[in-house]
Amino acid sequence: MAAMPTTPLHFRRVGFDPHPDLAEIRDQGGVRRVDSPALGGPVWLVTRVEDVRLVYSDTRRFRISAHHLVPGAPALSDEELAAVRPGNLLAFDPPEHTRLRRTLAPEFTARRMRRLEPRIHDIVRDHLDAIERQGPPADLVADFALPVPALVICELLGVPFADREAFQDRYTRFFDVTLTFEQRLAIQYESKAYLAELVARARVEPGDDLLGVLARDETAALDDREMVGVADLLLLAGHETTANMLGLGVLALLRHPDQLRLLREEPERADAAVEELLRWLTVVHTGVPRVTVAEVELGGQVLGPGELVVCSLPAADRDPALVPDPDVLDITRDAGGHVAFGHGVHHCLGAPLARMEMRIAFPALARRFPALRAVGPAPDYRSQQVVYGLGSLPVTW
């Protein structure tokens, strides 16, 4: 079913697909001025992959609009921005962004992420064991897609296991655009208050987790507010995105049994399957809006200085210029050029971790339950969320 008319255009989906209006814009020039009440007025909507890459890589002409840091919400006041900005990589362009990213990047290399790999295997296996013991039916969102990345990010940051459900609920509500701006901002403040306690603990007794590493690193020079901001961003981006990819990705494979069978019979295709699912689903609608610094031509349009620019990542990843037959799910193709993790200096820092979780989880689920199938009513698509996904996925086997 199509999204409600009140949903911002760049949020709208029809099942797995971007809304047809987005494809129309992409096919007729790729850049169009559209009304966006949630962002305070008209914005330039960018839909072609080449233009999206340009906007995200050219930080000289397209600067982060930090006042629009809360996705799908009105502009922040200076006071609100000062409270949520420190330590948030998405709130800064170079050179400040460079300082923060240089501090964090060593902990997110593929080599460092491999230290977590045995634990991710354990977490996935434990949840599949629990589902099997419980017997059908099961809700793969509640029983698998949500808790697996939650536990992984807890491991990474040193969040106590007992606090997992509370932070999971907190971030799910933060991404819900049906809540008022004030409600969502209050959730952000609540999260930061909790994380401030974790940072204070890490300062006194630093463990082997990321917060402990940063607390011990004298060269990092991160103050407590920045440490809190870093942790908040990683919890926010590292859980909700992967959780929605797992839930929606399983449904996509169930709806394409030939692709699921191929993944089960040839598990060496897991890396390519993950990239194709990332491209085809692209659960993050858009990154932080950009603002033009000077007059610039984009997609045949002339944008004046100080104009807001929003990129539709799902439309860009269905661009025929990216892959042939882009509306077809094909795990045998090379989809590595997608923009599901963004592009340029703001390309997702946690991409190696997200890829690893999916590369482990999808094949493990396919092997454990070869007769898996969805049951019940139509899928519960969460069309009013900043990160697209499913509210539930009842299955049997």
Evaluate whether 331 touches 273 at the Cβ level (below 8 Å).
Answer: yes
| Nearest Cα to Cα of residue 278 among 347, 351, 366 | 351
For the structural domain made of 9-396, what CATH number should be given? 1.10.630.10
Indicate the length of the chain as a whole number.
Answer: 397
pLDDT digits (tens, 9 = 90+) for 78-129: 888 888 888 889 889 999 999 999 888 888 887 778 888 999 999 999 999 9
**Residue 388 pLDDT exceeds 80:** yes
**Residue 134 pLDDT exceeds 50:** yes
End-to-end CA distance of the chain: 27
**Residue 5 pLDDT exceeds 70:** no
16: how many CB neighbours lie within 10 A of its CB? 19
pLDDT digits (tens, 9 = 90+) for 252-301: 999 999 999 999 999 999 999 999 999 999 999 999 999 999 999 999 99
pLDDT digits (tens, 9 = 90+) for 192-248: 898 999 999 999 999 888 899 888 887 777 889 999 998 888 887 888 899 999 999
**Residue 140 pLDDT exceeds 60:** yes
Per-residue pLDDT band for 2 (boundaries 50, 70, 90) equals very low
List, in order, residues 6 or more apart from 4 with CB less than 8 Å away: 383, 384
Residues 225-260 as b/e (b if ≥16 CB within 10 A, e otherwise) read bbbbbbbbbbbbbbbbbbbbbbbbbbbbbbebeebb
**Residue 318 pLDDT exceeds 80:** yes
125: how many CB neighbours lie within 10 A of its CB? 13
**Nearest 10 degrees: Cα torsion 104, 77, 6, 255:** 10
**Residue 386 pLDDT exceeds 90:** no
Residue for token digits 């399957």?
A: 273
**Main-chain dihedrals φ then ψ at residue 27, nearest 5 degrees:** -80, -10
Mean pLDDT of the chain: 90
pTM, rounded to two decimals:
0.92
> What is the C-alpha separation between 82 and 252, in angstroms, rounded?
40
Per-residue pLDDT at 3: 40
**Nearest 10 degrees: Cα torsion 32, 36, 42, 46:** -30
